[in-house]
Amino acid sequence: MLRNFARFENLVVVMAVFCLALLIILPVGSLLASAFWDKSGFTLDFFKEAFSSRSYLMPLVNSLILGAWTGLFSVLIGLPLAWSVARTNMPGKGFVAATAILSYLAPPFLTAIAFVNLFSPNAGILNVLFRDVLGLNFLTFNVFSMAGLVLVTVMHTFPFVFLLARSGLQSVDASLEESAQILGAGKWRTLVSITGPLVAPAILSGTLLAFVNAIALFGSQAIIGLPGRVVTLPTRIYSLFDYPPEYGLASALSLLFILITVTALYLQRSYLAKRSFITLGGKGSRPQLIDLGPWRWVLLAFGVSIFTIAILAPFGTLIAVSLSESWGLDFWRGLTLKHYKFIIFDYDVTQRAIVNSLYLACLAATLAILIGGIVSWIDLRTKVPGRKLMDYAALIPLGLPGIVMAVALIRFWLNMPITLYGTLTILLLAYVGRYIPLAVRSSNSALRQVDPSLEESAQILGAKWRQVMRHITFPLIRPGLFAGWLLVFVPVVQELSASILLFSSQTMTLAVAVYNLYETGYTEPVAALAMINMFIIGLAMWLAHRLGGGFGKV
């Protein structure tokens, strides 16, 4: 029996290594080779051109500027909201937390399209209202600018700071703050001198996530940046695939992306390594809420304003556009459902895109959670040499923007005898490879909560490995696996960065269809398709809530 188990264990390890190599290691290796080798051999010409040409340096500078401003404003929005929810008597805490979650789930490229309908220089409905009707030119806003790009991006990234800072504030041992107040420090001085430094790692982590996500988003940067001539690294890499494609330069710029991410992570670790941030002692207690008096309503108003900018304005606009005969100040005079009819029943491209996205999202989430579960099981339930390296390898895509993952896959599979470019298979590989870290972390967390002694007891009583997994392990980790499945499904449905380089006319996805319709000027059908996208995401979240409650009873 032990010999059979050992054989099975070896087979599982081989399968896991093969999957990680195919999805991550070989494509990334091919990306490195493409950046440093051409037909004549080893070369640095691609990097020399990237660092010497203004057409490549400016996108790098613009990406860094975008990331820096986004990180700053994510802190300025997310941190006060997190403090208000975790440490004050502000009303409406659930509303503010829901705003942050919805802002994160809302696809940034849909928010960008909505803001174009509101604030494009010539036809944006609010600009037309302020300029042509009210004569208030100073209130007009050109969304096709770095300021517009930062605004749209921050609405997606501030939840990183909010969620991590709120968790950090809730974890601080209240006795530390009480000791400071006993020694004469006021509440505000305690906040600045004690609480602030203790939650610094959470704030820094949230800022780093905001920075990395900001520079990696393709859709919003293409929709808002390109018309305003604000070219960034993702949009420049995308342009290199026009005929004839410049694979070497694309690979070199992709490695710059990775270098920026690694540098940011290194600086964060260096900062944290020099300080102690222990927040929980042996006798922790819940912190007292600060009574803000009338100021609590000011903070609530701030939360409502963020909800209005991040959720109500963009998606209210998309709903209005999707129902209007023709978008303009008098849109309400000709409400219609014909754009939904066109998208769902008449236009075969969008029909195919919806089916492709649902098929790919379900399959990618299932494969990712299966591979992630295997990697986690090897890490936590075996003593296979190198198992930690497998876990680290599975986390590599966390530092790879979607467009970089697409470039890596293109370079790898173009050198293979199998033709995958432009097929659903290469999209599936991109999605599974890009989001497998989410599956691994979810599976790892779920499996850690199961005491190995439960499995060992069953084996001692004669249960086979298959029976142990079916009747003990899987029922206990099922809620965690389902959460991981959902964490992969939702971003795959709205994925654009990798899809934009990998799709063909037959493999178009929902996000690509939205982008292409927008590019061709179909304003009202774009809004209708955008709302269908949001309906799918909302339905997935509703099912997660319903099924998650059922799973939680296991």
The count of C-alpha atoms lying within 13 angstroms of the C-alpha of 265, restricted to the half-sphere facing its C-beta, is 11
10 Å Cβ neighbour count for 357? 24
* DSSP code for 286: P
Note whether 34 and 251 are within 8 A (CB). Answer: yes
* Ordered DSSP codes for 513-530: HHHHHHHTT-HHHHHHHH
Alpha helices in 223-246 (DSSP H): 233-239
pLDDT the model gives residue 84: 92
Residue 514 to residue 530: CA distance in whole angstroms? 7
Pick from 70, 360, 77, 26: nearest CA to 212 = 70
Alpha helices in 129-273 (DSSP H): 146-171, 174-182, 187-190, 196-198, 200-216, 219-220, 233-239, 247-273
The count of C-alpha atoms lying within 13 angstroms of the C-alpha of 27, restricted to the half-sphere facing its C-beta, is 27
Residue 67 to residue 215: CA distance in whole angstroms? 6
10 Å Cβ neighbour count for 85? 23
Q: Which residue segments constitute the domains of the chain, with CATH numbers given? A: 56-277+287-333 (1.10.3720.10), 336-549 (1.10.3720.10)
Overall size of the chain counted in residues: 554
> Is the pTM here over 0.75, yes or no?
yes
Instruction: Spell out the per-residue pLDDT of the chain, length 554, in tens.
Output: 555 556 666 788 888 899 999 999 999 999 999 999 988 889 999 999 888 889 999 999 999 999 999 999 999 999 999 989 988 889 999 999 999 999 988 899 999 999 999 999 988 999 999 998 888 888 899 999 999 999 999 999 999 999 888 887 777 666 666 666 666 666 666 666 666 667 777 888 889 889 988 998 999 999 999 999 999 999 999 999 887 888 899 999 988 888 887 787 777 666 665 554 444 444 455 667 778 889 899 999 999 999 999 999 999 999 999 999 888 888 888 889 999 999 999 899 999 999 999 999 999 999 999 999 888 888 887 788 887 888 888 888 877 888 888 999 998 998 888 888 889 999 999 999 999 988 888 888 788 877 777 777 877 777 776 777 777 777 878 777 888 888 899 899 999 999 999 999 899 999 999 999 999 988 899 999 999 999 988 888 787 767 655 444 43
Enclosing H/E stretch for 60: helix 54-87
CB neighbour list of residue 513: distance below 8 Å, 6 or more residues apart: 349, 350, 353, 529
Q: How far is CA 177 from CA 287, 288, 527, in A?
A: 8, 10, 50
